[in-house]
């Protein structure tokens, strides 16, 4: 059906589709101190707009409106229809504290008071 539409109409529809994706998705990817809006996100990767984002590679952070969700190791996999798809080599959930290397008893005292 898109073959029957004029080029200008097809370009306008594509721009409207990308604008809708940007509005719906709240995720951003930070690499080198610069944040890029995520167009689509799935379990094994995500996509960015090709015009705005360079071919990223390496360690990136993924945020949802400022909340740090993941730290991921990525590689660019494909470019299609103005989007660059990235695949995760590693995707680790972010935590606000360091993991414990021992079991903490839930009834253990938080601090000791001097006598």
The architecture that CATH gives domain 2-93 is Beta Barrel (2.40)
Best CA proximity match to 47, nearest among 86, 93, 90: 86
Domains of the chain, residue spans = 2-93
Three-state SS for 8? helix
- Does position 98 have pLDDT exceeding 80, yes or no? no
Q: Looking at per-residue confidence, does 27 or 25 come out higher?
A: 27
pTM of the model: 0.66
Place of tokens 């995707």: 91
* Most confident region among 2-6, 7-11, 16-20 by mean pLDDT: 7-11
Which tens digit of pLDDT belongs to each residue from 29-86?
998 889 898 888 898 999 888 887 777 889 999 998 888 899 999 998 888 878 899 9
| Number of CB atoms found within 10 A of residue 75's CB | 13
């Amino acid at each position: 059906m898109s073959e029957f539409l004029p080029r200008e109409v097809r370009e306008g529809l594509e721009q409207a589709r990308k604008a809708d994706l940007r509005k719906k998705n709240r995720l951003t990817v930070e690499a080198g101190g610069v944040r890029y809006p995520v167009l689509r996100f799935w379990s094994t990767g995500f996509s960015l707009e090709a015009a705005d984002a360079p071919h990223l590679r390496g360690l990136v952070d993924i945020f949802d409106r400022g909340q740090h969700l993941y730290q991921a190791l990525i590689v660019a996999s494909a470019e299609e229809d103005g989007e660059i798809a990235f695949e995760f080599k590693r995707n680790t959930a972010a935590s606000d504290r360091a993991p414990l290397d021992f079991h903490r008893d839930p009834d253990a005292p938080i601090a000791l008071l001097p006598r």
